[in-house]
């Protein structure tokens, strides 16, 4: 059976852990050569080693997606190494500190927006020219269920992810005729370091928080990074050739409520 991303080159940001790592591994399993980007060197290199151990090809590039020059260098290095870029998974993001709107600090706001929203825009800014040179391709932006609904105590995160959804739709319209498909995946509660960070902020309530989060998910459990990665692979593949501008919730029914 043919692999879905055979001979394609896929760039994955935030690939050192969580959904980014799962997406990188899944893309490699489907035949892609993967450029793994992250600020965390050890985790990024470990992802590359995992891909190579399974017989795949991968490259790690350290990059801060909130800095344009680093993103430009990241894309250039990927293209120089593999000769092309076919798909991009713009996943890098941070949770930031929990605080209600009036208590959220300017520093916290600026840091979250710079990574989660400006970072996705910068990635697309430098990815799209390479995709145009190839005559098309696919971009998958990782948003969140909180890019579709609100969340108390997370004003900057929620705003950033709503912004990613809007940016995705705009780019999809702009480049549809050029053969570039742009979609967003909106994960619900998922077993990732971001969720672990939220729980670590209130360790004495960790078990209760897990139970409360799980209770809000209709399927009755938290998702796995690999489940989100499957949606990413499909959107990158030719099987989704008529799909652009969508927000695909992978959330166990969370936003259907």
What is the per-residue pLDDT across 144-201, written as a single tens digit (0 to 9) for each?
999 999 999 999 999 999 999 999 999 999 999 999 999 999 999 998 775 666 656 6
- Residue pLDDT, tens place only, 228-251: 999 999 999 999 999 999 999 999
The position carrying tokens 């090809």 is 57
Using a pLDDT cut of 70, give the percent of the chain over it. Answer: 93
The answer to whether the Cα torsion of 11, 17, 23, 28 is positive or negative is positive
DSSP 8-state symbol, 115: I
pLDDT at 153: 93
- Give me the sheet containing 33-38, strands edge to edge: 57-62, 33-38, 9-13, 87-90, 137-142, 180-187, 247-250
CB of 35 closer than 8 Å to CB of 61 = yes
Average pLDDT for 50-79: 98
User: Where does 217-257 show beta strands of DSSP type E?
Assistant: 247-250
Report the top-level CATH class of 9-256: alpha beta
Active site residues: 157
> Coil, strand, or helix at residue 12?
strand
Question: Rounded distance, CA 174 to CA 113, Å?
Answer: 23
| Residue 117: partners with Cβ closer than 8 Å, 6 or more residues away | 159, 160, 163, 164, 167
| H runs (alpha helix) in 83-224 | 106-113, 119-133, 155-175, 193-201, 206-215
Lowest average pLDDT, out of 79-93, 132-146, 207-221, goes to 207-221
Phi, psi of 151 (to 5 degrees): -145, 125
């Amino acid at each position: 059976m043919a692999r879905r991303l055979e001979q394609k080159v896929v760039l994955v940001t935030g690939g050192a852990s969580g959904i980014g790592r799962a997406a990188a591994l899944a893309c490699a399993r489907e035949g892609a050569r993967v450029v793994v980007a992250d600020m965390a060197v050890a985790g990024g290199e470990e992802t590359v080693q995992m891909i190579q151990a399974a017989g795949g090809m991968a490259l790690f590039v350290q990059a801060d997606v909130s800095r344009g020059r680093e993103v430009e260098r990241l894309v250039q290095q990927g293209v120089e190494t593999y000769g092309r870029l076919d798909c991009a998974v713009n996943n890098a993001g941070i949770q930031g500190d929990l605080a209600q709107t009036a208590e959220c600090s300017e520093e916290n706001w600026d840091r979250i927006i710079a990574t989660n929203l400006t970072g996705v825009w910068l990635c697309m800014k430098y990815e799209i020219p390479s995709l145009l040179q190839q005559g098309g391709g696919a971009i998958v932006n990782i948003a969140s269920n909180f890019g579709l609904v609100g969340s108390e105590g997370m004003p900057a995160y929620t705003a950033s992810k709503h912004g990613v959804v809007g940016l995705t739709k705009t780019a999809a319209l702009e480049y549809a005729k050029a053969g570039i498909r742009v979609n967003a995946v909106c994960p619900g509660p998922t077993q990732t370091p971001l969720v672990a960070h939220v729980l670590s902020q209130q360790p004495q309530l960790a078990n209760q928080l897990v139970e409360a989060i799980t209770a809000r998910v209709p399927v009755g459990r938290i998702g796995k990074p690999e489940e989100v990665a499957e949606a990413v692979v499909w959107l990158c593949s030719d099987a989704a050739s008529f799909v652009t501008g969508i927000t695909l919730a992978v959330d166990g029914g969370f936003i259907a409520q």
